């Protein structure tokens, strides 16, 4: 099953805020929702979905296993707890949230446990997040070359991660871009503003369209209805080859997220 090109993220959204955001997104036509155990909002996401009236089989729900649950004795029970909160018998995609090389659980062990969760029907697909090339190779060796549906990575016009994305393309692993707007920093970029003006679009739409035009999936979040609606229109924006070249030149290794003990040695 293909990873949707466009979805709504829920990072840092809590309580009624995330309920309203997800409910609004579903009203506007979003059908892919990204959450995680550490976000502390799976129950609220589940509530919003249940109250939306959108059939479960029309949705694509992703969650991520937190590092505290990587041990083979904990991973599947924690995923079952996530399913209970999300009010579903199965998610569409479950990711390992961070490689966490120093947390005491070997990559081979938690990938095997994740693969077992798929075998038990708890998740339709499995994948990873924030993995470097060496870790992707190790994960593929454990679960099989074609088993990893995506690697969800920080990726924006300021952090284009070309070595990892090239490896993933060759390996047939979908790129999912998070932080595509770089915490909003790219919204003030004059190059993106100029491109947006020529297309009668917004800088956010340009950044999202850029990622999708490269074949990546995106999961922007917002608490505002107008921004959720505007972001969705990025799917209709077609950038020129010249636009794409100009955005490629914005690369500056502008990483926003790099937690010690969780992150790998970045490629």
The pLDDT value given to residue 122: 98
**What whole-number distance in Å separates Cα of residue 157 and Cα of residue 254?**
9
The verdict on residue 56 lying in a domain is yes
The pLDDT value given to residue 103: 93
The verdict on residue 34 lying in a domain is yes
pLDDT confidence bin for 189, thresholds 50/70/90: very high
Helices (H), 87-175: 107-119, 133-143, 162-171
CATH number at residue 39: 3.20.20.100
Q: How many domains does the chain have?
A: 1
Query: Per-residue pLDDT tens for 151-180?
Result: 999 999 999 999 999 999 999 999 999 999
The pLDDT value given to residue 207: 98
- On whether 71 is known to bind a ligand per the annotation, the reply is no
The verdict on residue 1 lying in a domain is no
Question: Is residue 38's pLDDT more than 90?
Answer: yes
pLDDT confidence bin for 30, thresholds 50/70/90: very high
pLDDT confidence bin for 148, thresholds 50/70/90: very high
| 232, containing H or E segment | helix 225-232
CA 155 to chain centre: 10
Which 3 state secondary structure label does DSSP give 205?
helix
Domain, as residue range, for 126: 8-248
pLDDT confidence bin for 209, thresholds 50/70/90: very high
The verdict on residue 174 lying in a domain is yes
- Active site annotation includes 70: no
Name the CA radius of gyration of the chain, rounded: 18
Query: Per-residue pLDDT tens for 52-63?
Result: 999 999 999 999
The pLDDT value given to residue 236: 97
**What whole-number distance in Å separates Cα of residue 207 and Cα of residue 213?**
10
The pLDDT value given to residue 94: 99
**What whole-number distance in Å separates Cα of residue 196 and Cα of residue 127?**
33
Among candidate residues 30, 39, 70, 178, the one labeled active-site is 39
The verdict on residue 106 lying in a domain is yes
The verdict on residue 261 lying in a domain is no
The pLDDT value given to residue 220: 98
Average pLDDT, the chain: 98
The verdict on residue 253 lying in a domain is no
The pLDDT value given to residue 183: 95
Q: Where are the beta strands (DSSP E) in the chain?
A: 8-9, 32-34, 60-65, 91-96, 123-129, 148-154, 174-178, 217-218
Tell me what percent of the residues of the chain surpass a pLDDT of 70. 100
Tokens (6 digits) for 252: 């500056």
Instruction: Quote the Cα angle for 21-27-33, to 5°.
Output: 55
The pLDDT value given to residue 194: 98
Question: Is residue 1's pLDDT more than 80?
Answer: no
The verdict on residue 216 lying in a domain is yes
> pTM score, two decimals?
0.97
Residue 156's nearest CA partner among 105, 112, 211, 111 is 211
């Amino acid at each position: 099953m293909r990873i949707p090109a466009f979805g709504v993220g829920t990072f840092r959204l809590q309580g009624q805020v995330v309920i309203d955001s997800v409910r609004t997104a579903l009203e506007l036509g979003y059908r892919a929702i990204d959450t995680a155990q550490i976000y502390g909002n799976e129950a609220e996401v589940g509530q919003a979905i249940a109250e939306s009236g959108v059939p479960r089989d029309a949705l694509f729900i992703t969650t991520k296993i937190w590092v505290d649950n990587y041990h083979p004795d904990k991973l599947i029970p924690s995923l079952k707890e996530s399913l209970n909160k999300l009010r579903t018998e199965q998610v569409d995609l479950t990711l390992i949230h961070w490689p966490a090389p120093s947390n005491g659980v070997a990559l081979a062990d938690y990938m095997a446990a994740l693969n077992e969760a798929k075998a038990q029907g708890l998740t339709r697909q499995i994948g990873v997040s924030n993995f470097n090339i060496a870790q992707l190779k190790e994960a593929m060796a454990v679960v099989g070359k074609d088993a990893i549906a995506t690697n969800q990575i920080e990726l924006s016009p300021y952090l284009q991660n070309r070595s990892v994305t090239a490896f993933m393309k060759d390996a047939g692993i979908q790129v999912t871009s998070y932080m595509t707007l770089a915490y909003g920093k790219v919204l003030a970029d004059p190059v993106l503003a100029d491109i947006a003006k020529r297309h009668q679009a917004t800088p956010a739409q340009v950044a999202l369209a850029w990622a999708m035009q490269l074949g990546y999936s995106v999961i922007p979040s917002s608490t505002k209805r107008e921004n959720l609606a505007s972001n969705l229109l990025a799917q209709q924006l077609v950038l020129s080859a010249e636009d794409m070249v100009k955005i490629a030149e914005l690369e500056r290794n502008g990483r926003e997220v790099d937690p010690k003990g969780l992150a790998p040695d970045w490629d």
